[in-house]
């Protein structure tokens, strides 16, 4: 068929050209139906881009006039839309027509609607604001009785639909799943698939309906549902294992040709369906033997059936092979799959060969022998004229690299690298070469040369990790100190040679690496003066082709070298020149250098030789400035306020209360600005005397346990002990004999063939033997687990050391004691740290991007729901009194309350002043009874246990102990532990309890131990429940302060809670919250309220809530991350409970 198409297609341009004269710009006819034709012809007739632009602009302005004219009929509008689409396709802006496309979809008859919808789908994307205007039309059309209209609506929904409007159409689309027409059901399934992609939560409830679609009698509907299943299984394969049987059955039916012939494609039964099913099976069977066993048969059959020589059968085969290798392995199938891969690799068709290489690439780790089988093909592909094939071959070689073939493989990669121009490829390849070089380098010279090539070609596009890793590797060294020195020395020598070459421009990153290495390790050359290298660096410094960032590196190197030289003319010249430089950064560096030169002693301590790996310690709080700050303050200077605080203050002064912009304002600007490592940057951004004391410790680097090296007087020359963790002894290289034998085998084989081969062939064989050396033969499968078996040349030191030194070395490297411009790495690290420490209440006070937190709190929500399984100690009606802050516990839930009246009388005096719970018996026997109650003091929770002696006998001793609990800090109140020796007496034990970490509820347990005369001692155990609410107190603040606090808190949780009608009114909801949660009402404005509370001792939490009908929108914010969640949970409980 394609032949016919081809013929017609080639024949027609001729016709087309003949008739060009008819068209032309003037040929725009009056008839609307051929307007497009006129336009197309007009454009084709033009010769220059400029003319085209003129014509289109003309066209667009006439279109603009037409579409906005009130007299334009819908029919004309339809025609205009088509032309607008055409103009947009040519790359011109036709956005003025977007709104009219929506109108057309809304108002037109079927035909016009169709074009309207098409235009919308082509013009807009799913986040476009105009799309909202389409929602009504879609809803209307979904309800239409005309099938075509419903189809159009479903089609548009499956392509673009605003996520937030999904609820508006979801029920309608769900209905369509039961529609009698399969086309409607199919489109409805695809619409739901789209929803699943953009908002998976919204379609969670219809999973059962998906199953129904999977069992639909129509193949198209079933096939459509597989798209959803594929995504769902990809995310969570364990949830759908039960469907494996169904998928296998469907696949069997398809393979067996049981589907209607309509679905055949070139006499292959439903290939798309087969492939989709194979992909799903691959996901289900991964690492799961039992599930995999279910599919072995059908996979075998698929492999067997797919023997027709057509592209589409190859497609099925390919997917089948992929599945066979993904699931739990079965040797028989693997064998067959390997054979299939062979078919691809050996195919003369280039597309299939390419895929064969791809397949090899991903199975090579499991079966390295396959690469051996196809080694000659691989060699051929390496010199293939098509760069795509070459690249894929390199990818394959990359996977089989080991210590023996690394040189050849890297050489091939470098060859390719020199030819490619595309940045993406360069970045990718350079990364791989650097990785291989680092892993398998056979010797120092090779390693340095390879890295030189990487830096020269990769230049400034490569990943910044590459130079950083390289420098770290040099700095940290590996196991053998002399080896380290040699490597460094070689690097130094190599760079000196490179810099000798005239008129060569190296990439900036490479120059930076060079300057760092030369600065650090030039001393290894053992020359008297570094004059020679200083000259070279100086030359670079005055060169125009060097960026100012690189210059900072260069001058850092010069400084380091100067500390080793006694005096240097070049340095003096340099200082002279750059102290008057227009570049302020350079000028500063020069001044620093000048001052250091004047104080050689200081310079030597500051810039020790070969100490780049040692931790540099800085007093990031700049505490040595404290005196200065204090002095300024005493002279009336305003205390320093961080940027964001200043902003907030300004903000809160402007408006007393603002509801809308709570979310914004937390830009990271203040944050990043404050993050530069204070000791290094010379800016005074961070002051130890920040007015906001809470920020002080969290904002700075952690200084605990670190000796102060930089103090008020400058550098405190105290040598720190080496912090390096000693690495264990290197494992003996495991280059086993097996490898050598393989090696020999190959060579032997080669030798046998030598006679019959041409010279060229011989070369290839030679290459093959060098490439595939070290690859397993039948007996050695383990060799390809390259990372494990081959000892790496540059083995990294232990992890701890690595991560530790990362910070310090990066600080060293990027700025080498100078404030260099880029601190990106450092900041990122710090940012991550910050995020990790989010639990820390101080930290979260500032800096955290509110958007980030929003999303986080959304993910946390499920855990809140889970919590509802827990039981709460305080029953819902805990605070029934109308008294604002007061509350009385319900009648106790304890089984029996003994002597309640008499005990109640014994409540502590103090109790009467504070709100307290009723007395509850926690344990008793015939002799003794222990009851307890809580006193909710304003500043703490007091637990009182009162022990009464019921027996009428004297106790010899009695002792009450409370077991230490994880989340609580329990302090015994003094003077209340006298043993209740007297008969019938009551003694109380009082403890203050503090919550150490927020939680919803916890247990406090303890025991009473007593002894009566002449009896052994008895122990009674008891426990008591404490809830979060026991530690919540109202926080009385003003609205203004509320606003300020609200902005400074990062942790927030939002939730809508449905409430009963009686609760729906604001006052009653408010009352409930106030009484039961002990929240302080800050202010009520309309249907919104502000409440505040604190978790003892002093963690504030704020609540903003709004009533809409019967929904209560709650919004909590706090400085402590779990607190809003917990409070929300309590809040939901009380709202539901009442």
Helix (H/G/I), strand (E/B), else coil: 441: coil
CA atoms of 92 and 88, how far apart (whole Å)? 5
Least separation in angstroms between residue 8's CB and another protein is 4
Least separation in angstroms between residue 357's CB and another protein is 10
Q: Which is nearer to another protein, 118 or 406 (CB)?
A: 118
CB 209 within 8 A of CB 177: yes
Q: Which is nearer to another protein, 276 or 689 (CB)?
A: 276
Least separation in angstroms between residue 31's CB and another protein is 9
Least separation in angstroms between residue 287's CB and another protein is 18
Q: Which is nearer to another protein, 417 or 897 (CB)?
A: 417
Least separation in angstroms between residue 13's CB and another protein is 6
Q: Which is nearer to another protein, 102 or 878 (CB)?
A: 102
Q: Which is nearer to another protein, 88 or 615 (CB)?
A: 88
Least separation in angstroms between residue 421's CB and another protein is 11
Spell out the alpha helix ranges (H) of 2-146: 2-18, 35-45, 49-68, 74-89, 98-107, 110-123, 135-142
Least separation in angstroms between residue 1125's CB and another protein is 33
Using alpha carbons, list the distances in angstroms from residue 777 to 150, 325, 408.
62, 20, 20
Q: Which is nearer to another protein, 126 or 465 (CB)?
A: 126
Least separation in angstroms between residue 648's CB and another protein is 34
Residue 989: its H or E element: strand 986-995
**Residue reference for tokens 């210059």:** 551
Q: Which is nearer to another protein, 33 or 1015 (CB)?
A: 33
Helix (H/G/I), strand (E/B), else coil: 666: coil
Contacts for 125 with CB less than 8 Å, ≥ 6 apart: 160
Q: Which is nearer to another protein, 4 or 732 (CB)?
A: 4
Closest CA relative to residue 873, chosen from 892, 888, 886, 895: 892
Least separation in angstroms between residue 227's CB and another protein is 5
Q: Which is nearer to another protein, 8 or 912 (CB)?
A: 8
Contacts for 475 with CB less than 8 Å, ≥ 6 apart: 520, 612, 613, 805, 809
Least separation in angstroms between residue 190's CB and another protein is 5
Least separation in angstroms between residue 263's CB and another protein is 5
CA atoms of 941 and 529, how far apart (whole Å)? 73
Least separation in angstroms between residue 71's CB and another protein is 21
Biggest CA pair distance of the chain:
126
Q: Which is nearer to another protein, 119 or 294 (CB)?
A: 119
Q: Which is nearer to another protein, 2 or 882 (CB)?
A: 2
Residue 1063: its H or E element: helix 1061-1064
Closest CA relative to residue 955, chosen from 929, 932, 920, 975: 929
> Is residue 783 left, alpha or beta, with left meaning phi > 0 and alpha meaning psi from -120 to 50?
alpha
Least separation in angstroms between residue 262's CB and another protein is 4
Least separation in angstroms between residue 128's CB and another protein is 8
Using alpha carbons, list the distances in angstroms from residue 152 to 130, 179, 183, 937, 1049.
18, 15, 11, 66, 47
Q: Which is nearer to another protein, 388 or 858 (CB)?
A: 388
Least separation in angstroms between residue 378's CB and another protein is 16
Q: Give all strands of the β-sheet with 1001-1012 in edge-to-edge order.
A: 955-962, 1001-1012, 1018-1027
DSSP letter for each residue of 43-69:
HHH--SHHHHHHHHHHHHHHHHHHHH-
Contacts for 1119 with CB less than 8 Å, ≥ 6 apart: 841, 842, 844, 845, 1048, 1049, 1050, 1051, 1099, 1100
Least separation in angstroms between residue 418's CB and another protein is 19
CA atoms of 878 and 920, how far apart (whole Å)? 14
Least separation in angstroms between residue 42's CB and another protein is 13
CB atoms within 10 A of CB 443: 13
Per-residue burial over 714-750, b = 16 or more CB atoms within 10 Å of its CB, e = otherwise: eeeeeeeeeebeeeeeeeeeeeeeebeebbeebeeee
Q: Which is nearer to another protein, 254 or 613 (CB)?
A: 254
Residue 628: its H or E element: helix 626-634
Q: What is the chain's percent helix, strand, coil content, to nearest 5?
A: 60, 10, 30
DSSP 702: P
420 strand-pairing partners? none
Closest CA relative to residue 522, chosen from 559, 576, 479, 472: 559
Helix (H/G/I), strand (E/B), else coil: 124: coil
Q: Which is nearer to another protein, 237 or 931 (CB)?
A: 237
Closest CA relative to residue 822, chosen from 831, 804, 808, 810: 810
CA atoms of 208 and 715, how far apart (whole Å)? 70
Q: Which is nearer to another protein, 83 or 374 (CB)?
A: 83
Q: Which is nearer to another protein, 162 or 998 (CB)?
A: 162
Q: Which is nearer to another protein, 263 or 624 (CB)?
A: 263
Q: Which is nearer to another protein, 85 or 371 (CB)?
A: 85
Least separation in angstroms between residue 914's CB and another protein is 60
CB 183 within 8 A of CB 151: yes
CA atoms of 633 and 630, how far apart (whole Å)? 5
């Amino acid at each position: 068929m394609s032949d016919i198409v081809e013929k017609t297609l080639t024949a027609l341009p001729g016709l087309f050209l003949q008739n060009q004269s008819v068209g032309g710009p003037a040929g725009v006819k009056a008839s609307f139906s051929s307007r497009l034709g006129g336009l197309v012809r007009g454009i084709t007739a033009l010769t220059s881009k400029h003319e085209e632009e003129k014509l289109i602009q003309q066209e667009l302005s006439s279109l603009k006039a037409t579409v906005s004219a009130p007299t334009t009929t819908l029919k004309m509008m339809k025609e205009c839309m088509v032309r607008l689409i055409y103009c947009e396709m040519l790359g011109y802006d036709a956005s003025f027509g977007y709104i009219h496309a929506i109108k057309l979809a809304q108002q037109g008859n079927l035909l016009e609607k169709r074009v309207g919808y098409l235009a919308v789908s082509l013009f807009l994307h799913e986040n476009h604001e105009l799309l909202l205007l389409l929602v009504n039309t879609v809803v209307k059309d979904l309800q239409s009785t005309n099938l075509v209209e419903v189809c159009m609506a479903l089609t548009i929904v499956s392509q673009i639909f605003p996520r937030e409007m999904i609820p508006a159409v979801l029920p309608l689309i769900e209905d369509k799943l039961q529609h009698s027409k399969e086309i409607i059901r199919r489109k409805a399934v695809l619409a739901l698939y789209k929803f699943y992609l953009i908002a998976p939560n919204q379609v969670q409830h219809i999973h059962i309906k998906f199953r129904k679609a999977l069992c639909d009698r129509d193949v198209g509907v079933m096939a459509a549902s597989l798209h959803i299943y594929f995504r769902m299984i990809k995310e969570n394969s364990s949830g759908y294992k039960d469907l494996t049987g169904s998928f296998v059955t469907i696949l069997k039916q398809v393979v067996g040709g049981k589907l209607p012939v309509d679905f055949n494609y070139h006499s292959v039964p439903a290939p798309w369906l087969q492939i989709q099913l194979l992909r799903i099976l691959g996901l289900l069977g991964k690492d799961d033997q039992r599930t995999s066993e279910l599919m072995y048969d059908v996979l075998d059959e698929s492999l067997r059936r797919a023997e027709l020589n057509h592209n589409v059968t190859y497609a099925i085969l390919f997917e089948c092979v992929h599945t066979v290798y993904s699931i739990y392995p079965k040797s028989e199938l693997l064998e067959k799959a390997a054979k299939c891969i062979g078919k691809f690799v050996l195919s003369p068709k280039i597309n299939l060969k390419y895929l064969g290489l791809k397949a090899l690439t991903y199975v090579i780790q499991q079966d390295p022998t396959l690469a051996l089988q196809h080694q000659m093909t691989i060699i051929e592909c390496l010199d293939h004229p098509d760069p795509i094939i070459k690249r894929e071959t390199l990818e394959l070689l990359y996977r089989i690299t080991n210590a023996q073939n690394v040189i050849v493989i890297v050489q091939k990669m470098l060859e390719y690298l020199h030819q490619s121009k595309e940045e993406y490829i360069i970045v990718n390849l350079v990364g791989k070469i650097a990785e291989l070089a680092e892993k398998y380098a056979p010797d120092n010279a090779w390693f340095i040369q390879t890295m030189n090539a990487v830096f020269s070609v990769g230049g400034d596009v490569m990943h910044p990790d590459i130079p950083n890793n390289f420098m770290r590797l040099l700095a940290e060294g590996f196991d053998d100190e002399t080896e380290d020195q040699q490597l460094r020395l070689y690097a130094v020598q190599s760079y000196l040679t490179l810099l000798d070459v005239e008129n060569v421009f190296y990439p900036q990153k490479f120059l930076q690496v060079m300057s760092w290495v030369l600065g650090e390790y030039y001393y290894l050359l053992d020359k008297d003066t570094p004059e020679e290298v200083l000259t070279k660096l100086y030359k670079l410094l005055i060169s125009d082709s060097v960026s100012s960032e690189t210059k900072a590196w260069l001058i850092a190197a010069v400084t380091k070298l100067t500390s080793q030289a006694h005096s240097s003319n070049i340095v003096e010249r340099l200082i002279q020149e750059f102290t008057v430089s227009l570049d302020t950064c350079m000028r500063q560096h020069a001044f620093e250098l000048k001052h250091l030169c004047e104080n050689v002693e200081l310079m030597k301590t500051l810039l020790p030789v070969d100490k780049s790996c040692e931790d540099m310690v800085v007093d990031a709080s700049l505490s040595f400035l404290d005196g200065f700050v204090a002095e300024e303050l005493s002279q009336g200077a305003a205390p320093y306020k961080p940027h964001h605080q200043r902003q907030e203050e300004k903000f809160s002064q402007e408006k007393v209360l603002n509801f809308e912009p709570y979310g914004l304002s937390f830009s990271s600007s203040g944050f990043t600005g404050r993050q530069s490592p204070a000791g290094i940057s010379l800016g005074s951004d961070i002051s130890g005397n920040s007015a906001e004391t809470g920020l002080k410790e969290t904002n700075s680097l952690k200084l605990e346990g670190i000796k102060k090296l930089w103090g008020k007087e400058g550098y405190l020359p105290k040598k720190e002990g080496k912090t390096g963790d000693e690495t264990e002894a290197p494992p003996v290289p495991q280059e086993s004999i097996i490898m050598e034998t393989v090696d020999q085998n190959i060579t032997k084989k080669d030798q046998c063939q030598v006679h019959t081969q041409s010279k060229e062939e011989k070369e290839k064989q030679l290459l093959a033997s060098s490439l595939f050396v070290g690859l397993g033969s039948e007996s050695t499968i383990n060799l390809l687990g390259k990372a494990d078996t081959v000892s790496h040349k540059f083995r990294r030191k232990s992890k701890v050391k690595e991560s530790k030194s990362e910070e310090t070395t990066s600080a060293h490297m990027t700025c080498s004691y100078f404030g260099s411009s880029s601190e990106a790495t450092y900041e990122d690290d710090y940012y991550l740290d910050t995020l990790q420490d989010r639990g820390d209440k101080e930290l979260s006070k500032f800096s955290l991007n509110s958007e980030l937190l929003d999303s986080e709190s959304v993910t946390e929500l499920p855990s809140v729901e889970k919590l509802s399984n827990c039981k709460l100690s305080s029953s819902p009606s805990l605070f029934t009194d109308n008294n604002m802050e007061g509350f009385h516990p319900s009648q106790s839930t304890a089984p029996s309350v003994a002597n309640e009246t008499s005990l109640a009388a014994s409540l502590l005096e103090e109790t009467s002043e504070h709100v307290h719970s009723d007395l509850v018996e926690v344990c008793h026997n015939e002799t003794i009874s222990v009851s307890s109650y809580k006193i909710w003091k304003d500043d703490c929770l007091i637990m009182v246990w009162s022990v009464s002696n019921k027996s009428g006998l004297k106790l010899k001793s009695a002792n009450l102990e409370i077991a230490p609990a994880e989340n609580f800090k329990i302090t015994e109140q003094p003077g209340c532990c006298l043993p209740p020796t007297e008969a019938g007496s009551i003694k109380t034990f009082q403890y203050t309890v503090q919550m150490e970490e927020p939680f919803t509820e916890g247990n406090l347990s303890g025991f009473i131990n007593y002894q009566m005369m002449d009896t052994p001692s008895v122990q009674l155990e008891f426990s008591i429940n404490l809830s979060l609410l026991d530690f919540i107190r109202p926080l009385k603040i003003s609205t203004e302060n509320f606003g300020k606090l609200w902005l400074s808190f990062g942790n927030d949780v939002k939730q809508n809670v449905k409430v009963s009608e009686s609760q729906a009114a604001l006052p009653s909801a408010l009352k409930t919250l106030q009484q039961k949660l002990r929240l302080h009402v800050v202010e009520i404005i309309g249907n919104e309220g502000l409440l505040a509370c604190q978790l003892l001792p002093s963690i504030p939490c704020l609540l903003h809530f709004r009533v809409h009908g019967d929904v209560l929108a709650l919004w909590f914010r706090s400085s402590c991350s779990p607190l809003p969640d917990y409070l929300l949970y309590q809040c939901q409980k009380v709202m539901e409970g009442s």
